[in-house]
């Protein structure tokens, strides 16, 4: 209990002594907060993007089979389906038709995808939100495309095909559907001039997830020109890409960070005559070197914690309320039809611990020697000044 | 290498701690050579001041090492989706040969740094610093371990290559990463249960004996060391399965996940604390003969024994809670 009382008293003294030198300390805390804010924004943002990607990919097919020609993806012949369906454990094989369409009018790339529901309604399309705004530049009242409006598509044989908008995709799924246009199979084949016996890729349903690698191995054995991709692999790649982007930004910020460490070192070394006298008096009235070190420890802890929590709070506001305006273009990539989305707030202890390692520990290391130096000042030499 | 923020943090942290310790070792050499408590020379005064710096740095090093031990495990855990067949840290630590050595070195350096602080605490209680040379020799012994730990960890983290989609093929057909270590540590349940019960009883009884009689500290510290291994084995082989509620799952790391309420963190922490305090009583025991420490050491040993008993009780409480309130029953096995 006595030890606790001692710590409390020293902490009390430290805080009031910090308060007496407001100007110097506020400047330090502000810079410190800013550095933590920058790093925390990067960490929170990349982490939420990873979460978001994982959430979206939950509904992705467990396995996709593509065909490669000369190392590039090509159309896959429909007759591959039969041989793949023969493999034990494969529940279903469904061909998919999708592609990218460059719209010269709006200057954007759309993703065209065949939807089975539209197959008996040729000439109709369902569009995503981004498309509706992009395709209607000349429209009155700037309203965006409405139901029954017509979008002209230039087919690959040079003719123009007008398709009627029959609906808009729900706003909630904007992250995936911003640039999406759902079309019927006939229209799709007409626009891209694709033969009837070909598909873009095949989607597999597999009963037991543990069999996925074996089935993938069998597919490449039967059709050596194919490339099976598992959902797990897509997730893994996204994870690595977002981690890598976050890491690169952290490296770029390392310059800012070193400048801050030098500032912290400088502030801790350059004791004013008044501070030196204070330490001298404390020692003269009976404080030991270890007490002064304890005081310096509490000083560092107070400054660090204040900056740490303020920085994290500001980063939280920046990422989850202001959609991280500072880093978004670099971290999430870009596109003409980029969806507007707000990330789900998600912070865990691991991010906080990482941040602590990246900021508070270097700060502490930078101030150890200066605080030791000030704690071992001779009282008589200071007070004589 | 993977540009992961956690990896950058670990590399930065270990670079900082090992360079700080190198500086301390340099000061240690100076102190071992030039220390003379009876002298009032400028140099001796300077050295006495330096000892403050070294103990300050060492207490920070211990704190950082403890934090980085758990950050390391957690990072290995979060990286596991990047490797085929790795479900948790057990798999990702096996990705290259440096993973498990790095983990073991981290635990060893934590224990060593803690022991150093106990010796330092004891030494500072006497006015004439009787252990000064011994503790700086000890510091010189710890330094290579910490440097080795930093290099092995760097070797592990820099050597990680995620299995991501490449242009030639999607699926990589490698076999699952086997987590042999957990199977090895999963001794027959009855054997490990018996060993754990016996070892806990002996350790607690000896701890109580040290606390009451301040005798038998050396034996207590040897028993504590064995108890460290036995409790980790017990945790893996029969305690963890009650938390997982799965009699075949012996994983030392899954218990750290949020699904199990992060219960692994307090469990591992109290195992470390109990081992550290137990070893601490023994390491300062030979210095009882020194006149200035004669009255100090029994007092410290009592306190350490009490800490060890408390840590073991906390372990039993948490593990017992997990076993009693688990939905798993091994009555049929």
Residue ranges per domain, chain B? Answer: 5-158, 180-321
- Chain A residues inside the 8 Å CB shell of B61: none
Nearest chain B Cα to A73, which residue? B167
Q: Do B74 and A353 touch (CB under 8 A)?
A: yes
* Intervals of chain B under pLDDT 70: 1, 85, 164-187, 330-333
Asked if residues A365 and A136 have their Cβ atoms less than 8 Å apart, the reply is no
Query: Residue ranges of the alpha helices (H) in chain B?
Result: 5-34, 42-79, 89-92, 99-125, 132-158, 180-185, 189-213, 217-234, 240-244, 264-284, 296-324
Order of strands across the sheet that contains A160-168: A98-103, A108-114, A180-183, A124-127, A160-168, A150-154
Closest CA to B119 of B102, B99, B104, B141: B141
Q: With a CB-CB cutoff of 8 Å, which residues 344-383 of chain A face chain B?
A: 350, 353-358, 361-362, 364-365, 368-369, 372, 375-376
Residue B77, CB-side half-sphere exposure with 13 Å CA sphere: 16
Interface confidence, given as ipTM, is 0.80
pLDDT per residue, tens digit, chain A (385 aa), is: 778 888 888 888 888 888 888 888 888 899 999 999 988 988 888 888 888 778 777 778 888 999 988 888 889 999 999 999 999 889 899 999 999 988 887 778 888 999 888 888 888 888 887 787 766 555 555 567 777 888 888 888 888 888 888 888 876 666 667 788 899 999 999 899 898 899 999 999 888 887 888 888 889 889 988 888 888 888 888 888 888 888 888 888 888 888 988 988 888 887 777 788 888 888 888 888 888 888 888 888 899 999 999 999 999 988 888 777 777 766 666 666 566 666 777 788 888 888 888 888 888 888 888 888 888 877 777 777 6
* Chain B contact for A213 (CB, 8 A cutoff): yes
Q: Do A243 and B168 touch (CB under 8 A)?
A: no
Question: How many beta-carbon pairs under 8 angstroms link A with B?
Answer: 121
- CB-closest option in B3, B75, B81 to A247: B3
The CA-CA-CA angle for residues A325, A331, A333, to 5°, reads 100
Residue with tokens 């003294």: A13
The rounded distance, in Å, linking the Cα atoms of B94 and B10 is 18
Q: Do A353 and B67 touch (CB under 8 A)?
A: yes
Q: Which of A211, A243, A252 to mutate to test the interface with B (most CBs of B within 10 A)?
A: A243
Would you state the pLDDT for residue B173? 47
Closest CA to B319 of B227, B231, B226, B198: B231
- Chain B residues inside the 8 Å CB shell of A240: 2, 82, 162, 164
Q: Which of A354, A355, A379 to mutate to test the interface with B (most CBs of B within 10 A)?
A: A354
Asked if residues A66 and A226 have their Cβ atoms less than 8 Å apart, the reply is yes
The SS3 assignment for B320 reads helix
Q: Do A354 and B6 touch (CB under 8 A)?
A: yes
């Amino acid at each position: 209990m006595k030890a606790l009382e001692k710590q409390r008293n020293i902490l009390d003294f430290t805080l009031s002594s910090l308060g007496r030198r407001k100007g110097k300390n506020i400047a330090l805390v502000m810079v410190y907060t800013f550095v933590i804010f920058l790093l925390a924004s990067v960490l929170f943002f990349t982490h939420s993007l990873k979460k978001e990607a994982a959430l979206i990919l939950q509904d992705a097919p467990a396995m996709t089979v593509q065909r490669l020609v000369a190392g590039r993806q090509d159309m896959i012949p429909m007759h591959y389906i039969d041989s793949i369906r023969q493999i034990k454990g494969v529940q279903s094989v469904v061909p998919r038709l999708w592609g990218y369409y460059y719209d010269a009018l709006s200057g954007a790339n759309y993703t065209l995808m065949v939807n089975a529901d539209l197959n008996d309604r040729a000439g109709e399309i369902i569009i995503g939100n981004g498309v509706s705004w992009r395709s209607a530049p000349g429209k009155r009242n700037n309203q965006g495309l409405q139901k029954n409006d017509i979008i002209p598509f230039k087919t690959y044989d040079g003719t123009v095909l007008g398709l009627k908008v029959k609906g808009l995709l729900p706003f909630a799924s904007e992250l995936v559907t911003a640039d999406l246009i759902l079309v019927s199979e006939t229209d799709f084949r007409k626009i891209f001039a694709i033969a009837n016996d070909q598909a873009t890729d095949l989607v597999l349903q597999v009963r037991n997830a543990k069999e996925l690698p074996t089935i993938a191995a069998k597919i490449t054995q039967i059709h050596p020109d194919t490339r099976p991709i598992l959902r797990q692999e897509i997730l893994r790649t996204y994870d690595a890409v977002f981690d890598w982007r976050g890491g690169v930004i952290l490296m770029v910020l390392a310059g800012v960070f070193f400048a801050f460490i030098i500032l912290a070192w400088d502030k801790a070394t350059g004791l004013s005559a008044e501070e030196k006298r204070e330490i001298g008096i404390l020692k003269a009235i009976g404080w030991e070197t270890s007490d002064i070190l304890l005081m310096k420890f509490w000083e560092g802890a107070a400054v660090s914690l204040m900056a740490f929590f303020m920085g994290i709070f500001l980063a939280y506001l920046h990422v989850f309320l202001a959609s991280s305006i500072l880093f978004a273009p670099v971290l999430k990539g870009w596109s003409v039809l980029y969806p507007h989305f707000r990330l789900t707030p998600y912070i865990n202890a691991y991010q906080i611990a990482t941040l602590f390692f990246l900021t508070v520990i270097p700060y502490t290391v930078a101030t150890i020697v200066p605080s030791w130096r000030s704690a071992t000042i001779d009282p008589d030499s200071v007070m004589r000044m | 290498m993977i540009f992961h923020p956690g990896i950058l943090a670990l590399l930065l942290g270990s670079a900082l701690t090992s360079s700080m310790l190198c500086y301390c070792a340099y000061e240690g050499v100076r102190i071992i050579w030039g220390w003379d408590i009876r002298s009032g020379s400028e140099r001796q005064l300077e050295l006495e001041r330096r000892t403050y710096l070294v103990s300050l740095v060492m207490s920070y090093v211990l704190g950082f090492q403890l934090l980085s031990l758990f950050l390391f495990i957690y990072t290995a855990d979060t990286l596991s989706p990047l490797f085929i067949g790795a479900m948790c840290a057990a798999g990702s630590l096996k990705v290259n040969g440096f993973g498990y050595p790095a983990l073991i070195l981290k635990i060893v350096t934590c224990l060593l740094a803690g022991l150093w602080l106990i010796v330092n605490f004891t030494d500072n209680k006497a006015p004439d610093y009787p252990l000064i040379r011994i503790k700086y020799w000890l510091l010189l012994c710890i330094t290579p371990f910490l440097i080795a730990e930093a290099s092995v960890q760097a070797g592990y983290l820099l050597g990680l290559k995620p299995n991501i989609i490449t242009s030639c093929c999607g699926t990589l057909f490698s076999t699952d990463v086997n987590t042999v270590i957990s199977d090895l540590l999963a001794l027959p349940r009855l054997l490990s249960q018996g060993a754990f019960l016996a070892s806990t009883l002996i350790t607690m009884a000896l701890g109580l004996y040290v606390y009451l009689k301040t005798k038998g500290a050396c034996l207590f510290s040897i028993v504590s060391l064995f108890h460290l291994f036995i409790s980790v084995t017990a945790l893996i082989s029969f305690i963890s399965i009650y938390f997982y509620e799965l009699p075949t799952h012996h994983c030392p790391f899954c218990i750290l996940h949020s699904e199990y309420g992060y219960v692994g963190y307090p469990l591992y922490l109290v195992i470390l604390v109990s081992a550290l305090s137990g070893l601490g009583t023994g390491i300062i025991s030979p210095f009882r003969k020194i006149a200035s420490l004669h009255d100090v050491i029994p007092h410290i040993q009592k306190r350490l024994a009490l800490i060890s008993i408390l840590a073991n009780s906390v372990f039993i409480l948490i593990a017992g809670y997990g076993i009693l309130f688990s939905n798993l029953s091994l009555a049929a096995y």
